[in-house]
Amino acid sequence: MSSKSSVKQGTIHHCDYLIIGSGAAGLMAAHRLAAHGQVCLVNKVDVTDSNTWQAQGGIAGAIVDKHDSIAAHIEDTVQAGAGLCHEDVVREIVASGHQIIDELLTLGTPFDQENGKLHLTREGGHAYRRIAHVQDSTGKAIGETLFKHVHEHPHVRCFRRHMVVDLITSQKLGIHQQNNRCLGAYILSPQGDVFTIAAKHVILATGGAGKVYRYTSNPHAATGDGIAMAWRAGCPVMNLEFMQFHPTCLYNPNGSTTLLTEALRGEGAYLVDKRNRRFAFDYDKRGELAPRDIVARAIDHEIKKSGDDCMYLDVQHLGKEKILSQFPNIHRRLLSIGIDMCEQHVPVVPAAHYMCGGVQTTVAGETNIDCLFVIGESACTGLHGANRLASNSLLECLVMADRCVALICQTDVSFANVSIPAWDSSGVVPEQERVQIKQNWDEIRAIMSNYVGIVRSSERLRRARRRLVLIHEEIASYYWQHPLSRSLLELRNLALLAELMIRSAQQRHESRGLHYTTDYPNLSKTAKDTILLPQGDNL
């Protein structure tokens, strides 16, 4: 896999497949497509800075035996999704779980074994143990395995630390006599030059948007870039009001947040308040193993009720041997900041974790734009409904990549006979200061955390949307007047995601799954997806 350190402004590169994003979905697609043509893989940071590498728990895939079954996995997924799951999608993805895990094993993923068989763990919402894992760093192990098969492949060219400015479509170029087609993308190099990659097919696999909130388990790169780019290109988005908050992230106001995998509770960890009282059963008969939205709201309610900064996860009773063998990386991270989980309670708060909505697609990642596919967390297939079942995310990423590649390889597409203009940077002037970018970034995250968090109200949503209007105006003015930078592009995308999430939340007049509003606390009789349609050119 090659990468050049510098690409000249205005140059154009051609490839068969342009893949934007290098998490599990993007890497699996690159691995498969490299056998069929030239691949350009673009990621704005290092390959390890993705939600895949952060994923601790595992990948769900029913091992059919006397206890578990595909039907049981489907039932658990649908129940967690609170009436919004598309059951045909659930069936297709869940039924592929065992095949995907087998393929990962064949590729060399070192899943934990016990007595010669996969060691399976259990997480909230699952009726059985069906989570294949690699200790507490499953995503990292899967990412490393896939990357090994992509690394230095002669048909893969990697553009690391390059940021996609925007997609190029036929309609954006003023061609309206045929279906809108994606032609490629404008790319910003680390040196600040903008060049073009033209491709027969473009795959967005850019992950989620957790950084739209103040507290998140996501890496800094999770700024919703793919969803924002697809919206500006003309793709509908679906169910963006459903942001899953992971119940147990380390409360560490003076440092970075660490996710504490749900597998800890699956193995028997307790949630307690500062008086050591277990409270989860006050909210659901399943206690700590209730679906994530219920557990997150329980913790949020206890924090608000008590006025405390956090609640606590008690792992001590699992024993040091089990903790060190099954959760060594979490133990090591916590120990580095002075918390020994073998002997102490761990302070936790809910944090933005997983975007259940996204660009409206099929399981194969098809969008309403020819030759544009969106896979993984950026997509919304209907699998998760109103709430994701734990460890279904890596499964969805890999199944979507599998189906996407199969569909692309069935279609015979040539390069569009279109002249793509170079990026026009005329009229821009150097920045005098960058404090506006930081200020707008901080404002967006504060607005979303305070008004569009775990519990919402109509008034909070109205206030949030009003405040974003001014921020949008400031960003638009700055964007067209000054040179492009990664921080400016991320801010632009983040602001758009925030607006779309608020608009989606305003359309849902009920409380369902991850969307809980005090003005509409009950379920509607009819379950409907929230779909927003772009109007014209959303540049």
**What positions carry a catalytic annotation?**
292
Strands 156-160 and 39-43 come out as: parallel
With beta carbons less than 8 A apart as the criterion, state whether 295 and 163 touch: no
Q: Compute CA distances 533 → 180, 244, 440, 530, whole Å.
A: 15, 23, 26, 10
User: Contact, 503 vs 465, CB < 8 A?
Assistant: yes
Cα angle, residue 118 at apex, residues 116 and 120 outer, rounded to 5°: 140
In eight-state DSSP terms, residue 182 is E
Closest C-alpha among 20, 9, 10, 12 to residue 416: 12
| DSSP class per residue in 14-36 | EEEEEEE--SHHHHHHHHHHTTT
Enter the DSSP assignment of 141: H
Nearest to 54 by CA among 63, 41, 45, 65: 45
For residue 513, what is the enclosing H or E element? none
Q: How are beta strands 455-456 and 516-517 bridged, if at all?
A: parallel
E strand or H helix at 179, and its extent?
none
Are 194 and 185 within 8 A, CB to CB? Answer: no
Strand intervals (E) in 230-299? 237-238, 243-250, 270-272
User: How far from chain centre, in Å, is Cα 20?
Assistant: 14
**CA 399, CA 18: separation in Å to the nearest integer?**
19
- Nearest-angstrom CA–CA distance, 341 and 41: 39
Q: How far apart are CA 484 and CA 469, in angstroms?
A: 22
First to last CA, the chain: 33
Residue of 173, 228, 226, 224 lying closest to 198 (CA atoms): 173
Phi-psi group of 234: left, alpha or beta (phi > 0 → left; psi -120 to 50 → alpha; rest → beta): left
Question: Among candidates 297, 515, 272, 289, which has minimal Cα distance to 390?
Answer: 289
Query: With contact defined as beta carbons under 8 Å apart, do 139 and 394 qualify?
Result: yes
Nearest to 124 by CA among 167, 80, 75: 80
